[in-house]
Structure 1
Amino acid sequence: MKKVYISGLFCLALLIACGSPDKTEENVANEKPVATETNDVQLTAAQVKNAGIEIGALEAKNIHKTIHVNGVVDVPPENTYSVSVPLGGYVRQMTLIPGMYVKKGSVLAVVEDQQYIQLQQDYLTAKNRLKFTADDYTRQKGLNQTKATSDKIFQQVESDFNNQKVSVNGLAEKLRLIGINPASLNEHNITRNIRVYAPISGYITEVNTNTGKYANPTDVLFEVINPGGYHVNLTVFEGDAANLRVGQEITCSTSSNPNKRYIAKVHLIKPSIADDRTTSVHCDLEGGDDLLPGTFLNATISLAASSADAAPDEAIVKWENKNYVFAALGNNNYKMIPVETGTSLDGFTEIKTSEKLGNIVVKNAYAVLMKMKNAGE
């Protein structure tokens, strides 16, 4: 019984040994190496030559820093005119629609009301009475000088004469306000309607009335804008606003046509910061007749040039949304170093990283990146 037990153990040990063979040299050679994450890579001289890799140092460049902001096309108040009727009335003639171009002095509408008749009547009556009071004043003045009449009577006549002049002049201004010339008004040309004229040349943007509607003095009937007075209203963060100056040139473009550039110059910087930490910058737009008020614009503001360390664009690689350069360690060894980039200009990009960089790969850095990443697969 003891012999059988020992024989069983021996067979079990033999089976385990057969199922787990020792590693041979061939098996070890076929095993894949474990990939390790590293920022170092070494190339051969042939690889450096074939890839066209070149080594160099950062260069000091005068780079214009830029600010990218957004804004809209706007019309300054002096180029926008709201048209109303000072004394109110019924609109009897009007043929305008938004978008129409009108010239300064052209008739926008014809308005009528009985108060226009009454105003003209009052003016002519006051004008006639003024003539009477003027003659009476002249007569009483002569009598007073000879003491043929009392000072009290002369003062009363003088007061009536002065009051009548005030009344005539006031009514004359009311007539001018509604577009009637008092100098040419007489009893034969009293009219019941007035004409509303365009105050400026431009485009009708709003029509708030129609024929037959009564227009109150406070109602805005039309809005006219002068397209030659467009400007750009930019929204700039407070940190960037401190770098802006009146007269700086700005390049603008629309989202629908980004290749077409418009030039504007800073005209006014609002001297206050809003709750969202921004301020408004008003710029005079040169040209832009094809733009419409309210058009969204992308703007680039160039700041004063400053000296900065810069690397060629070919020296900077992007990996996993971060920017890197390859430091040359010697003997074709390279190390990938993260960097913070700034403004780009004429094929160079500003390097803001405070770490001191020696020689780096300045050409075909992506070839080094591909070699390094492929080496770990």
Structure 2
Amino acid sequence: MKSISIYTLLISFFVFIQCKKEDPKDPKANLPKDENVVMLTDTQLKNAPIETTMLSLQNISSVLKLNGMIDVPPQNLVSVSIPLGGYLKSSSLLPGMPISKGQVIAVIENPQFIQLQQDYLMAKSKSHFAELDYNRQKTLNQSQASSDKAMQQAQSELNNQRILMNSLAQQLRLININPEALKSGSITKSVPVYSTITGFVSKVNVNIGKYVNPSDVLFELINPDDIHLNLKVYEKDLENLKKGQRFVAYTNADPAKKYYGEIILISKDINQGGLAEVHCHFDKYDQSLVPGMYMNAEIETSTSFSNAIPEESIVNFEGKDFVFVETKKQTYRLTPVTLGETENGFVQILNFADFSNKKIVTKNAYTLLMKLKNTEEEE
């Protein structure tokens, strides 16, 4: 009986201990582990030293990010044509080729050119004869040897020939033939086409031997002196822009290469999509900038002192931004953060009230993130 009682007491004690371990009211039994907290041992801290800082006021500029295209004003875009048409005899132009003002860029042939020069020289000769006849009739009329009617007819013929000669001279100038230098022995079937600007060739629309009409465009030339960036800006952002503001632009292909300039004109016309045009000049022309090229631009709209931390404090995980806040010695909490603008290595913190008087990790923040996530995976 005595041995049975001892055995019963042992069983009861064992059941009591098990119940105590599984008691849901025990706060330590069901205490969840904080998955956003990482603790470092002395050895880990020695291998990856941690440095912290607090929010500080930094001079941060607000930046407006825009996009647009390289453009040139109409007066800098030249379409070359020949007023009287003809066959293209020669040209060596290729798109992108540099040209100079006054350079011969093509030679055009047309039998009509021969006829035009012939008509001019004949009109010039007749005008000279009409002038001699008029002077003779004028002298005779003064001595009463000729009637007023004969003198008036001679004067009319002289005026008609001068009008015809001047008209033909203007047509010759249209095809780059100097009428004053034209003689019977210098009649030509070919005329040169000159460049009116210094720049480069944008388009070549003809080939050797092709007949071109007066309305056809042979070449398109661009004067890059006034090349500019045409940006598209939403109506709500127009109030932040003004003439003379600086910008920095870059292409998608080479974002590291920067182009600088300033705003020269802000359009007051807003299209149906709520966009207005802002025209910007570059400080220095670069030959790699060609009309139609797509570009991105950033414009500083305002500057103010903001609560900020060094960029190296920010860690990104699953598309979200975080920082580590020191809660106690060698213990750090992963905390969400809302970022603003970045400048000179500092990033603006918009939810700065959440970090008032708190120490934020600046060095080895990503080391803490890896330690935190590796610990979770092991568990």
Superposition TM-score tier, normalisation by shorter sequence: 0.7 to 0.9
Equivalent position to 2:346, from 345, 348, 361: 348
Letter in 1 for 2:89: R
One-letter code of the match for 2:30? P
Which of the numbers 172, 186, 206 marks the counterpart of 1:209? Answer: 206
Preserved CA contact (<8 Å) 1:63 1:343 = yes
1:131 to 128, 133, 158: 128
Give the structure-2-normalised TM-score.
0.74
- CA distance in structure 2 between the partners assigned to 1:152 and 1:60 by the alignment: 100
Counterpart CA distance in 2 for 1:96 and 1:372 is 65
1:361 and 2:359 correspond: yes
Q: Measure how far apart 1:178 and its partner are.
A: 0.1
Give the AA of the match of 1:360: K
2:285 to 280, 287, 305: 287
Q: State how far apart, in whole Å, the 1-side matches of 2:304 and 2:137 are.
A: 85
Change (3 A) 1:353 1:147: farther
- Relative distance call for 1:69 and 1:233 in structure 2 (3 A) is same
The AA in structure 2 aligned to 1:231 is H
- Structure 1 distance, partners of 2:94, 2:328, is 76
Residue 180 of structure 1 is aligned with which of 177, 180, 200?
Answer: 177
Change (3 A) 1:368 1:110: closer
5 Å-filtered alignment, 1:33-112, equals 33=30, 35=32, 52=50, 54=52, 56=54, 58-112=55-109
After superposition, the Cα gap between the structure-2 partners of 1:91 and 1:138, relative to the gap in structure 1 and judged at 3 Å, is same
Number of the residue aligned with 1:299: 297
In structure 1, runs of 5+ residues without a counterpart are 1-16
The CA deviation string for residues 14-72 of structure 1, in whole angstroms up to 9 with x for no partner, is xxx99xx673445669x973637799x7989x99x98756464x444332221222233
Structure 1 residue identity aligned to 2:341: T
> Structure 2: any 5+ residue segments left out of the alignment?
1-10
The offset of 1:180, in angstroms, is 0.4
Amino acid at match of 1:255: N
Name whichever of 115-124 and 258-267 sits farther off. 258-267
TM-score with structure 1 setting the length: 0.75
Whichever residue aligns with residue 58 of structure 2, its letter is K
Bigger Cα displacement from structure 2, 175-184 vs 279-288:
279-288
The answer as to 2:221 corresponding to 1:224 is yes
Query: Per the alignment, do residues 126 and 372 of structure 1 end up closer, same or farther by CA in structure 2, a change over 3 Å counting?
Result: same
Q: Is the 8 A contact 1:252 1:300 kept in 2?
A: yes
Structure 1 vs Structure 2 CA RMSD: 4.2
Residues in 1 aligned to 2:250 and 2:57: alpha-carbon distance in whole angstroms: 31
Confirm whether residue 248 of structure 1 aligns to residue 245 of structure 2.
yes
Q: 2:272 maps to what in 1?
A: 275
In 2: Cα distance, 1:42 partner to 1:289 partner: 54
Could you tell me how far apart the structure 1 residues matched to 2:323 and 2:105 are? 67
What SS does the corresponding residue of 1:235 show, helix, strand or coil?
strand
Q: How many residues are paired up?
A: 354
Q: Secondary structure at the match of 2:241?
A: coil
Which amino acid is the alignment partner of residue 301 of structure 2? L
